[in-house]
Amino acid sequence: MLVLQNLTKQYGAKDVALKNVSLTIGQGEIVGLIGPSGAGKSTLIRCINRLVEPSGGKILLDDVDLASLSAKELRRARRRIGMIFQEYALVERLTVMENVLSGRLGYVPFWRSYLRKFPANDVRSAYALLDRVGLLAHADKRADALSGGQRQRVGIARALAQEPDLLLVDEPTASLDPKTSRQIMRLITEVCVERALPAIVNIHDVPLAKQFMQRIVGLRAGGVVFDGKPEALDNEV
Ligand code: ADP
Ligand code: ADP
């Protein structure tokens, strides 16, 4: 479970990007973040794993306050947070399988063919994940040989290989066509439900958010202006 308490981020002297945001996200709950450009969606996502340093407030992941961890503790805590990116952030020269295993490792090593160095269990679960995302036949292809939708499937499998307690998803379909976008959103929501994995999805496409998200949080000028079921959004706007 993730609890944000009065999360605040101020970049410059008066550039307040997040103002006292408080949210509770339960086990297996998938929350879509919507709002106009500049509303604070990326800042909110990045504060949670401290790619952006919060200016104030608490970020409780199962009772550990991520906002107050030292650099060393933070490295360990980040292993519990899976990330899925708009541009996939794969290592192009590595194979699909190697990309997924790098999620297990938490970093990308400089040497090739490190499959052999992984415990058989990790390799087995990586194959199972590739099967789940529909890429088993592509395990040995280089990442740069895949289509955008396939790359995002690798991104999803890599994040899950971490066995995270929380998934942060930043505009996962912004580079994909509408049909592929729906397939990717369906996959993300399904794997979260299967694992009771809480997720926050920065999703700029409101119709897509309404189709796939159980709960929508609307941000405007750094504050929460809507928090509810997608159906309730229709009465708001
Ligand atoms: P998006 O619309 O996807 O959030 P932006 O174009 O707003 O992307 O931001 C791209 C990058 O620039 C991000 O890393 C963001 O943190 C940074 N950024 C956005 N606004 C500012 C700003 N006013 N000053 C400095 N960096 C900014
Ligand atoms: P969104 O993701 O909703 O487009 P952002 O979180 O990117 O919003 O931005 C929220 C606000 O914070 C904007 O006013 C933006 O200009 C500002 N901002 C974002 N990143 C930076 C940065 N690195 N430095 C200064 N201001 C930033």
pLDDT at 73: 93
Of 8, 9, 10, 11, the one to substitute when testing ligand 2's pocket (max ligand atoms within 8 A of C-beta) is 11
Report ipTM (2 d.p.): 0.69
State residue 213's pLDDT score: 95
Residue 76: which of 98, 49, 42 has the closest Cα? Answer: 49
Strand locations in the chain, DSSP E? 2-10, 16-25, 30-34, 56-61, 64-65, 81-84, 166-170, 199-202, 215-220, 223-228
pLDDT of residue 216: 97
Separation of alpha carbons 110 and 203, rounded Å: 33
Cα-based torsion angle of the residue sequence 155, 158, 160, 164 in order, rounded to the nearest 10 degrees = -110
pLDDT in tens, 34-43: 999 999 999 9
Q: Name which residue sits closest to atom 22 of ligand 2, judged by CA.
A: 11
Cβ atoms of 140 and 126 closer than 8 Å: no
Torsion of CA 88, 111, 167, 136, to 10 degrees: 70
Q: How far is the CA of 35 from the centre of ligand 1 (A)?
A: 15
Q: Is the CB of 12 under 6 A from ligand 1?
A: no
The closest of 137, 186, 129 to 159, measured between CA atoms, is 129
